[in-house]
Amino acid sequence: MKNIWYPGNRVDLLENGEAFFPAVFDAIRHARREVLLETFIVFEDKVGWALHQALIEAAGRGVQVDVLIDGFGSADLSADYISRLVAAGVRVHTFDPAVRVFGLRFNVLRRMHRKIVVVDAERAFVGGINYSADHLGDFGPQAKQDYAVELVGPIVDEIHRFARATVGRPVADADEAARRPSASSRWRGAWWGPGRTNGSLLASASASAAPAGGAEALFVRRDNVQHPNDIERYYRVAIRRARERVLIANAYFFPGYRLLRELRRAARRGVEVTLILQGEPDVPIARAAASTLYDYFIKAGVKIYEYCERPLHGKVAVIDDEWSTVGSSNLDPLSLSLNLEANVVLRDRPFARHLRARLEHLIEHSCTQVQADGKSHWAWWAQLRGFFVFHFLRRFPVWASRLPTHRPRLESMDSVAVDRDPSGPRGAATASPGSAPRSPSTAASLPASRLVAPGRL
């Protein structure tokens, strides 16, 4: 299936939890028909419980609510938390849950890492922000810097169809036909204009949602079947066609060799290439991996800045003030070769300029530029290290395809049985078909499992 560009959208940047959570919770509180929510992580903290309340209130008004969480990222939600949602009528789904072995989780590969919300098929949110208090500034020095977007317009139809299908609620055939681009849709060049194609279709104004703004938007996902490299491909094509500047802020930066090569080539042909990476990482090995690439880039003229105020969790990019992307996908082996991810790609000059201004604000106030090492006696080691890194990256997609390819399960928790053993599946609650759901009061009297943050977001 070809990716489709939808014109006529409004897009608003939401920076950090301070902007994202109020917007999402307000949309859920005003939902009239449907809420679809996918996330990697929900924690039982002030943010997780605020989400919990908003979802229960929506279900109480008769809104159809579906929530999809990841079986690794949200493995420790308590029976109390889940059973209250289920009792209120919220359909809770777990992506690829797994039984713990000696209290440890081994289902780390091929995670559902997307962060998507769709409300009433009218508003959509896509980005990298999980539902946890560490996305708020008052969390302290470990609060994360991150981004999402709110979308209104025809692109929401595409995201809505995708989110419904994921939880087993496909859009009715008649509605689907009405939402598809008409036969008059035309092939369009990539963001830099006609004459060059990138395999994308530009939808005509026939999409059911009325135009809401001037942005052209593309919903891009990565999976392990039909779209294994779509997100990386759009990055590479945009970088290859860049004329003036490439600005990327990415938390876990360790991309494949082809993307590395495009960045280096862009810098050598005079494009201003700037990377904002982690300087105060929540996962130290992420910074160590990225730092092995510094000499390779700096020698080609790439500018590298480390964001040092707090952990960087963003996954955004701006190219030539024309093309931009915001989403859940890091530029590392997990996101590019294993996880299920979702980004939106945008062609909108005002939004691109705004995002660039926010990133440049980080550079000016919170970043340190990485300088060339200059230690010649280490040159041989850097070259040897670079050789092994590059060849590992070049072959990683092939190696990843040989990792276990079990069919991930989407488990609907239409009833909840409480597992009193905290080392059991998901630490507290497991689906038990045929059992009666427990009331909130019953679940509340049971001990909740201890919440442990996974080591990789």
**b/e map 126-142, b = 16+ CB within 10 Å:** bbbbbbbbbbbeebeee
321 is catalytic: no
Asked if 296 and 383 touch (Cβ cutoff 8 Å), the reply is: no
Q: How far is CA 395 from CA 160, 237, 392, in A?
A: 35, 20, 5
Rg, Å, the chain Cα set: 22
Q: Please write down the HEC assignment for all residues of the chain.
A: CCEEEEEEEEEEEEEHHHHHHHHHHHHHHCCCCEEEEEECCECCCHHHHHHHHHHHHHHHCCCEEEEEEECCCCCCCCHHHHHHHHHHCCEEEEECCCCCECCECCCCCCCECCCEEEECCCEEEEECCCECHHHCHHHCCCCCECEEEEEECCHHHHHHHHHHHHCCCCCCHHHHHHHCCCCCCEEEECCCCCCCEEEEEECCCCCCCCCCCCEEEEEEEECCCCCCCHHHHHHHHHHHCCCCEEEEEECCECCCHHHHHHHHHHHHCCCEEEEEEECCCCCHHHHHHHHCCHHHHHCCCCEEEEECCCCECCEEEEECCCEEEEECCCECHHHHHCCEEEEEEEECHHHHHHHHHHHHHHHHHHEEECCCCCCHHHHHHHHHHHHHHHHHHHHHHHHHHCCCCCCCCEEECCCEEECCCCCCHHHCEEECCCCCCCCHHHHHCCCCCCCCCCCCC
The catalytically annotated residue of 320, 321, 348, 419 is 320
313 is catalytic: yes
The catalytically annotated residue of 160, 315, 332, 419 is 315
320 is catalytic: yes
46 is catalytic: no
2 is catalytic: no
Question: Which amino acids are annotated catalytic?
Answer: 113, 115, 120, 313, 315, 320
